[in-house]
Structure 1
Amino acid sequence: MVGLPAKRLQQPPSDITSRRLGDAAEAFIYALQLSGASRLTIKSYRAALQSFLSYVGADRAASNVKAEDYIAWLTAMRSRGPMGPRGGRWSSTVHYYSVFVRRFLSWLGVSGLPSEPSRRGEFSGALSWRDVEVMMSKARDLYDLLIVSLMAESGLRAREVVGLTWGDIDLARGEARVRGKYGKERTVVLGQVARAVLSALPPGQPNERVVKLSYQAIYDRVKSMARRAGIDVSRVRPHVLRHTFATEALRRGMSLPVLQRLLGHSDIRITQVYLHLLDEDVRREYERAFMQPQQPYYPPYPPQAYPPYVQPWYMGAPGPRG
């Protein structure tokens, strides 16, 4: 996910509202660049702003833009349907575009904007650990296996996998140094599969990439493994493996602060989004304990000890143990 840059954005120029909206958008992009935003972040913001400008008009005076324009554009975006480019969910694109445009308009000084939307209910979910194991069993080569293990066992983003060099790997300690968003570095622990694969691969020079593939190639490999594993391909993409690591770590008892550090989140509230994915676990455990017939129910007291309106509930059940 792309978001705000690491440094605070500069205030807009004093004459920003007297400019064309298209020029104001370029000034915002320039401010993003000065703040240290990554190339991917810039590209994403630019795409969102171009969508907004094509709807409201780039030649319009920036001073004339209102919150109503944002709402009208967002409504039009949502009406385009559930599917977007490459079969991805259009709702996900709309969500991020809406966040980016809203931040631009806030920077511009537009008042009355609705609250920033939440994607909590649209979270893409995670796979079961069994799904991960089946995908690994369908690996065609060591790189397939390494890609899945780095994301599912250590929580790396696909682009972090792409940027990993042999100089970042410390097999003796079972660790890797990862450069995340905005150039922030963190140390992750390598899982058992990743350690085994890295030990089997011929080591390269310190500045040589470990996985010499593009992001798109990794994306395609993950999809292919899911297809061979018989998993619904629409559920699987590289970032879902990172989600899977996070939810599996919580299921196994890892604390939220430790998970935050391993994922490289600057704010623990971002890490907390994974907690709601465990709601289904809670429901499943409850239903297993209370909603499914297992052993006959044994009341702790004989039937006559209960009021008459309770007794029919367990009529016919054996008496208490003992």
Structure 2
Amino acid sequence: MQADGIDAFLEMQAAERGAALNTLAAYARDLADMTAVLHAGGVTARTAGEADLRAYLAGLAGQGLAARTQARRLSCLKQYFLFLAREGMRPDNPAALLEAPRLDTPLPRFLSEGEVEALLAACAPEPDATPARQRRLQVARAALEMLYASGLRISELLALPRRALDAAPGMMLVRGKGGRERMVPMSARAREAARALMEADAARRSPFLFPGRGVARPMTRQGFDRILHDVALRAGLDPARLSPHVLRHSFATHLLAHGADLRALQVLLGHADIATTQIYTHVMLDRLREAVADHHPLSHAGELEVG
């Protein structure tokens, strides 16, 4: 066993936690880097104190490592020093009180309302389209209408059974993360597109609303991505800007922009925690700024700058 207990720690991660080879390799690199820095300062993992670890983490920041990389390194250190303390290799855990750097939460990417309409309009087939082409665009229209009308995750959409539309009028039953079921409203346009696809696919006798090449299984994510790529090009949009999650973000962003409540949005999106939904509050902040700019008496006189 290494004096610093790294081998034992990695063995524990593999045996008890089933850590992947890539994870173990990353842990080994992180711990080798830390011990080298500690040894250069005359201490070891068994003798290092909290101040030594803080100095090491400060050095990572000084090297320009991204906050996310620093946070990953700290996670490794916390697990490692907890292991040393539990195994009696040192009397305490000097990493217990260390805090990860604050991670900036990127704003969600979304389409404008005009871009969404262009995307949906691009699902109309050409007059001379082949039957295969017509069905491909019919799949695209049903999927895009439903994603934008309900904010579904792509995994939820592709797993929908044909009977999903048989719920209460105007609603659809969705099984989300962790097997949690929820009812989501479905627009008349989306229901119409879905039922048109069901009629076109009646002969396939698939249990899924969006069947794959083998009708016993749903369409794959890769198959849908190819359809989305084609429709984006037809709509004059950069396919790199478009994904099912961008449509989900567009649904949420546009709802809030038109006055929806954050709690209602949480239920519609199937978020277990309101904190997850709060990434969309940038829209609410924009609306508040606009409200002040439009209605505050000083803003019209040029004496109140908002922004």
TM-score normalized by structure 1?
0.60
Q: Which residue of 1 aligns with 2:166?
A: 170
2 CA distance for matches of 1:71 and 1:190?
A: 53
Count of residue pairs brought into register by the alignment: 247
How far does residue 70 in structure 1 lie from its aligned partner after superposition? 11
Distance in 1 of aligned mates of 2:211 and 2:64: 41
User: Which residue among 82, 90, 96 is the counterpart of 1:111?
Assistant: 96
Gaps of 5+ in 2: 36-44, 83-94, 126-136, 213-218
- The aligned counterpart of 1:125 is 109
Q: Is the Cα contact below 8 Å between 2:31 and 2:77 reproduced in 1?
A: no
State the Cα RMSD in Å.
4.2
Question: Counterpart amino acid of 1:198?
Answer: A
Query: In the alignment, does 2:195 pair up with 1:199?
Result: yes
In structure 1, distance between residues paired with 2:180 and 2:291: 39
- What's 1:259 paired with? 265
- Which digits, 9 at most, give the CA deviation of each residue in 1:69-126, with x for residues without a partner? 7985997874xxxxxxxxxxxxxxx95x777776566555353543364342x22321
Residue in structure 1 matched with residue 89 of structure 2 by the alignment:
none
Correspondence 1:136 to 2:110: no
How far 1:224 moved relative to its partner? Answer: 2.8
**Matching of residue 22 in structure 1 with residue 10 in structure 2:** yes
SS of structure 2 residue aligned to 1:169: helix
Query: CA, structure 1 residues 182+238, in 2 after alignment: closer, same or farther (shift >3 Å)?
Result: same
Note if 1:210 corresponds to 2:200.
no
In the alignment, the residues of structure 2 paired with residue 197 and residue 221 of structure 1 have an alpha-carbon distance, to the nearest angstrom, of: 16
Q: Contact between 2:149 and 2:187, CA under 8 Å: does it hold in 1?
A: yes
Residues 208-234 of structure 1, C-alpha deviations (whole Å, 9 max, x = no match): 353532112222322332232222333
Q: Deviations for 1:206-264, whole angstroms, at most 9, x for unmatched residues?
A: 84353532112222322332232222333221101101111111122221111111111
Measured in 1, the distance between the counterparts of 2:266 and 2:247 equals 16
Structure 1 residue 201: Cα displacement: 2.2
Is the aligned partner of 1:145 residue 2:141? yes
> How far, CA to CA, are the matches of 1:100 and 1:150 in structure 2?
37
- Per-residue displacement from partner, 1:153-175 (whole Å, max 9, x unpaired)? 10111111121111332266122
CA distance in structure 1 between the partners assigned to 2:295 and 2:238 by the alignment? 29
| Aligned equivalents of 1:270, 1:249: Cα separation in 2 | 16
8 A contact 1:174–1:190 mirrored in 2:
yes
1:188 aligns with 2:184: yes
Letter in 2 for 1:208: F
Structure 1 pair 52/285, CA: closer, same or farther in 2 (3 Å)? farther
C-alpha separation in 1, matches of 2:269 and 2:59? 34
Structure 2: distance between partners of 1:231 and 1:71: 44
Q: Which amino acid aligns with 1:118?
A: L
- Greater mean alpha carbon deviation, residues 48-57 or residues 228-237: 48-57
Partner deviation per Cα, 1:294-317 (whole Å, 9 max, x = no partner): 9xx9xxxxxxxxxxxx9xxxxxxx
Could you give the per-residue CA deviations for residues 17-71 of structure 1, whole angstroms, max 9, x where no partner exists? 776443343357459xxxxxxxxxxxxxx5973572363369x99x779674798
* Secondary structure of the corresponding residue to residue 210 of structure 2: coil
After TM superposition, give the deviation of residue 146 of structure 1 in Å.
1.7
The answer as to whether partners of 2:70 and 2:100 remain within 8 angstroms in 1 is no
The 5 A counterparts of 1:277-296 are 277-280=283-286
Instruction: State whether residues 60 and 70 of structure 2, in contact with CA within 8 Å, keep that contact through their aligned partners in structure 1.
Output: no
1:131 to 1:211, Cα distance in 2 relative to 1, 3 A: farther
Percent of residue pairs identical: 25
Distance 2:8 2:209 in 1: 44
Q: Do the aligned residues in 1 keep the contact of 2:27 with 2:76 (CA within 8 Å)? A: no
Equivalent-residue separation in structure 2 for 1:145 and 1:222 (angstroms): 10
Q: CA–CA distance in 2 between the matches of 1:167 and 1:71?
A: 58
Q: Which residue of 2 aligns with 1:301?
A: none
Q: Secondary structure at the match of 1:153?
A: helix
Letter in 2 for 1:245: F
CA distance in 1, matches of 2:273, 2:23: 26
Distance 1:125 1:71, change over 3 A: farther
SS at match of 1:178: strand
Bigger CA drift: 222-231 or 144-153?
A: 222-231
Within the candidate set 230, 241, 264, 2:247 is matched to: 241
TM-score (norm 2): 0.63
